[in-house]
């Protein structure tokens, strides 16, 4: 049975981007180290997990800000995409107030305007026996947690202190988590939780 897994990288002080994040600076100013585990690491823990998660993705949900970075001129390309150099191509569901006029990347995009629960329903319908991943950003994961549609939360903890940026858990309310897995590399600590409902 498919699970819905919120999966995101976070700094030690709780930010998923640094200050100034946007289409020109996706992760914010001087914040590229957040995703070093996925982009630059040759540690077998990081490489194995990246391959595992990309292969397990039956569908992916993201917010509009994340989409604007990914589909923007400095976003994904043929060498770097979903799953970093794995360049996975599952169906993508974008939570947005209004669909864009056009897209740059030739991927399977669905723009969802009626909220997180609808995005999850649509993603589960096409995921087959694989999982649905919510890749961010922080507000999208918080909204999905608040909507009660997340089964698991995976946090890739980056050894960075950003001091400011986009917080992951702002406004999420109270949630009880059960730790299920911890994997440690030289570059990050990967923690998986079940979300109690």
Q: Which CATH number do you get for residue 68?
A: 3.40.430.10
Confidence of residue 171 (pLDDT cuts 50, 70, 90): confident
Confidence of residue 169 (pLDDT cuts 50, 70, 90): confident
Tell me the C-alpha to C-alpha distance, in Å, between residue 118 and each of 40, 129, 194. 35, 19, 21
pLDDT of amino acid 90: 97
Check: CB of residue 49 under 8 Å from CB of residue 7.
no
Residue 27 lies in a domain: no
pLDDT of amino acid 103: 96
Check: CB of residue 185 under 8 Å from CB of residue 149.
no
* Model pLDDT for residues 25-60, shown as the tens digit of each residue: 777 777 888 899 999 999 999 999 999 999 999 999
Confidence of residue 153 (pLDDT cuts 50, 70, 90): very high
Residue 18 lies in a domain: no
Cβ neighbors of 101 (< 8 A, separation 6 or more) are none
- What is the reported pTM? 0.94
Residue 71 lies in a domain: yes
Return the percentage of the chain with pLDDT > 70, whole number.
100
pLDDT of amino acid 16: 92
Domain that includes residue 84, residue range? 4-12+37-163+170-195
Tally of domains within the chain: 1
Residue 22 lies in a domain: no
Residue 29 lies in a domain: no
Residue 114 lies in a domain: yes
- Who wins on pLDDT, 76 or 20? 76
Residue 24 lies in a domain: no
Check: CB of residue 19 under 8 Å from CB of residue 168.
no
Residue 46 lies in a domain: yes
Confidence of residue 108 (pLDDT cuts 50, 70, 90): very high
């Amino acid at each position: 049975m498919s699970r819905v897994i919120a999966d995101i990288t976070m700094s030690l002080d709780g930010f998923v981007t640094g200050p100034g994040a946007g289409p020109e600076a996706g992760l914010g100013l001087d914040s590229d180290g957040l995703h070093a585990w996925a982009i630059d690491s040759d540690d077998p823990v990081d490489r194995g997990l990246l391959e595992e998660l990309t292969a397990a993705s039956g569908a992916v949900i993201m917010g509009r800000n994340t989409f604007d970075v990914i589909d923007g001129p400095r976003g994904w390309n043929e060498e770097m995409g979903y799953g970093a150099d794995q360049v996975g191509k599952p169906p993508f569901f974008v939570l947005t107030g209004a669909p864009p006029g056009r897209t740059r990347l030739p991927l399977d995009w669905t723009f969802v305007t009626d909220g997180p629960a609808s995005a999850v329903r649509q993603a589960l319908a096409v995921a087959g026996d694989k999982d649905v991943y919510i890749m961010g950003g922080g507000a999208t994961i918080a909204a999905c947690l608040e909507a009660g549609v997340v089964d698991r939360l995976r946090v890739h903890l980056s050894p960075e202190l950003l001091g400011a940026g986009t917080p992951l858990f702002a406004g999420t309310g109270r949630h009880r988590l059960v730790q299920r897995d911890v994997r440690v590399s030289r570059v990050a600590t990967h923690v998986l939780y079940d979300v109690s409902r």
